[in-house]
Amino acid sequence: MVLEMVRRTRAVLMAFCALGMLVSAGCDTGPRRVPASGTVTLDGKPLEFGILYFNPDESKGNTARVSCTSPVRDGHFNVQTSGIQRSESGPGVPLGWYKVNLRVNMAGELPIFPGQPVVKINPKYLDPDKTPISIEVVDNPEPGHYDIKLDK
């Protein structure tokens, strides 16, 4: 009788464990993201506005299929991720290397937002294939790890 009770209890526990594994296997939480924020300066002064793009750097092993962007406001940014699936999207950035480029003007002549002045910036920062800015997103960055310094 006791042996039968132990067998039933064990069978119930195994069924719950199996169910738990099935449920967790069906939940796609996407890649783990970590906060990535910092400052952007242009010739030593805070960049007033713009949009930063963190592009996965395949040459350094980052094959993530995500879009990581952040508006720049008064020299500060905080990157968000947009993924193919909703579970891949949200605050922060998946770990890995990124090439970072910036958009401050549209077509080089018009401000991104009406009423903003056109910002002169070195064109190398505008092209994701030519930008010299390469940043590794890590778990515990030192203060200033994500700060970006640009020049005209």
Predicted pLDDT at 152: 86
Place of tokens 């042996």: 3
Q: Is 69 domain-assigned?
A: yes
Calculate mean pLDDT across residues 113-119.
70
Cβ neighbours for 80, distance < 8 A, ≥ 6 positions apart: 68, 69, 70, 89, 90, 91, 92
pLDDT tens digits, 50-65: 899 999 999 999 998 8
Q: Is 10 domain-assigned?
A: no
pLDDT tens digits, 16-46: 444 444 433 444 456 789 999 999 999 999 9
In this prediction the pTM is 0.73
On the question of pLDDT at 82 being above 50, the answer is yes
Place of tokens 């549209």: 106
Place of tokens 């962007």: 69
Cβ neighbours for 45, distance < 8 A, ≥ 6 positions apart: 75
Domain containing residue 41: 33-150
On the question of pLDDT at 126 being above 80, the answer is yes
Predicted pLDDT at 4: 56
Calculate mean pLDDT across residues 134-140.
95
Domains: count for the chain? 1
Predicted pLDDT at 133: 96
On the question of pLDDT at 15 being above 50, the answer is no
Q: Is 106 domain-assigned?
A: yes
On the question of pLDDT at 74 being above 60, the answer is yes
